[in-house]
Amino acid sequence: MITAIDHIIVVVPDLDAAVRSYRGLGFTVVPGGRHPVGTHNALISFADDSYVELIAFYENNPDHRWWAPLQKGGGLVDFCLQTDDLIADTQRFRKAGVQIDDPKGQSRMRPDGYLLRWVFSLSAGTHRGVAPFLIRDETPREERVPRERGHPNGVTGIASVTVAVDDVPVVRGWYEKALGTSAQEIHRDDVDGMGIRVIVGPHVFDFLAPRRPHGPLRDWLGARGPSPFGAALRVAAGPTRELDAAETLGARLSLVPG
């Protein structure tokens, strides 16, 4: 069963610069380590057990799924969901019509020398970034997710993720069939979009198509195709505010009370 967001991914051109910038925004950023596929990361872990992964390439890898989005500006590019049954949930998404690969292994060497291992199922082709990828840890998850979860800016978790899509009925079918739940029809005036809202544990996903020929969602789809558009991070109090995209290195992130 799918239980929650595991993490969201922000791809950046320079990891050290991203770490400095996000720390300047009031986040506690923990060095993550290196993957054998040419990427390295740093993590921002939250009290709700989710996290933001800042990831960059320490060597060129044009075949990597996040290489092309980086060439288009980077920012928020993907999301991973937690599951308590990777095989079954992979099959559920596949039967719902999602192009999703069989599980395969991956690893990351932390700076302290601890080798993390996990297995994940990746959505493929044009479904990537609209359908999730799924993960199962082989080493303890508490070793993969940093224990440092307090932040000077007061962020406690991920409130929601907004995904720009061009075919809401198809996406609705994926999620309703795979999750066994009903999606809620919504309108979002702030981005001039309409679509569906899907609840995944404590987290919200809005899959939105543009309502008019012009606007932020239409512009995003034209430049980047169907893909994650933005995320809202939860704080205990204070007004809703957008973080400066120059400081988030292209990720559209906002802070919302809740």
Number of C-alpha atoms within 13 angstroms, CB side, residue 158? 29
Whether the predicted pLDDT of 238 surpasses 90: no
Mean pLDDT, residues 119-129 taken together = 96
| pLDDT tens digits for range 198-230 | 999 999 999 999 999 989 999 999 999 999 999
How far are the Cα atoms of 186, 200, 256 from residue 191, in angstroms, in the given order? 12, 22, 16
Give, in degrees to the nearest 5, the angle at Cα 162 between 79 and 213: 130
**109: three-class secondary structure by DSSP:** strand
Mean pLDDT, residues 227-239 taken together = 95
Whether the predicted pLDDT of 135 surpasses 90: yes
CATH, range 155-257: 3.10.180.10
Mean pLDDT, residues 187-207 taken together = 97
CATH, range 2-144: 3.10.180.10
| pTM over the 0.95 mark | yes
Identical fold, 2-144 and 155-257: yes
Decide if 53 contacts 251 (C-beta within 8 A): no
Find tokens 């559209």 and name the residue: 252
For the chain, what are the domain ranges?
2-144, 155-257
Decide if 205 contacts 161 (C-beta within 8 A): yes
